């Protein structure tokens, strides 16, 4: 298995594109993973760790009504975080993590509920802000395991977008549309 941060930095560098990160439950671990790669400064613009819900609105432009109605652990919040950090830091790509690592539930969501998002220069079919994609996760494990898997998952999601790889759900829809072939 390859290391997604290395592949992400390599692809962004080759393409001359940049990345910004918005983090909540991962608390800076995504940015740390990216900046551990030699040469990351060629592609990495920076990050915002918006752990407090109010900062998601103030720094990343997440809709205040959305936060009030659904809380910070929500697919659309993740999408708006990715879009907001991309705009705020002037990057080609934005990625985001939000969720519940534990030990207690948050915003009515159980421990292990995570949303990872990517927003990039190409339009998508997800209906998310800026043509981005959001992947909901239900993770098991302790706090550290949930946070580590969230980091890996958001980098893999970005890698899929960068390489144009379809997710399993898109493949299933394509198969269904093409009569099972």
Q: What is the 3-state secondary structure (H, E, C) of 111-156?
A: CCEEEEEEECCCCCCCCCHHHCEEEEEECCCCHHHHHHHHHHHHHH
Q: Which residues form the domain of 45?
A: 4-177
Number of structural domains found in the chain: 1
181 has pLDDT over 70: no
- The tokens 């298995």 sit on which residue? 1
Say what the pTM is.
0.87
In this structure, what CATH number is given to the domain that contains residue 150?
3.90.950.20
Query: pLDDT of 54-74, one tens digit each?
Result: 999 999 999 999 999 999 999
Query: pLDDT of 134-176, one tens digit each?
Result: 999 999 999 999 999 999 999 999 999 999 875 444 433 333 3
């Amino acid at each position: 298995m390859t290391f997604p941060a290395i592949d992400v930095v390599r692809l962004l560098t080759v393409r001359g594109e940049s990345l910004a990160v918005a983090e909540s439950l991962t608390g800076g671990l995504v940015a740390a993973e990216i900046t551990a790669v030699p040469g990351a400064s060629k592609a990495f613009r920076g990050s915002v760790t918006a752990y407090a819900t109010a900062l998601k609105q103030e720094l990343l432009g997440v809709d205040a009504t959305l936060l009030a109605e659904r809380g910070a652990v929500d697919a659309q919040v993740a999408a708006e975080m990715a879009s907001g950090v991309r705009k705020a830091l002037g990057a080609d790509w934005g990625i985001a993590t939000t969720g519940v690592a534990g030990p207690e539930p948050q915003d009515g969501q159980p421990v292990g509920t995570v949303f990872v998002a990517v927003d990039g220069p190409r339009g998508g079919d997800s209906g998310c802000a800026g043509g981005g994609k959001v992947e909901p996760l239900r993770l098991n494990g302790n706090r550290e395991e949930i946070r580590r898997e969230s980091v890996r998952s958001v980098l893999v999601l970005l890698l899929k977008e960068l390489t144009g790889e379809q997710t399993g759900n898109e493949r299933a829809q394509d198969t269904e549309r093409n009569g099972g072939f």
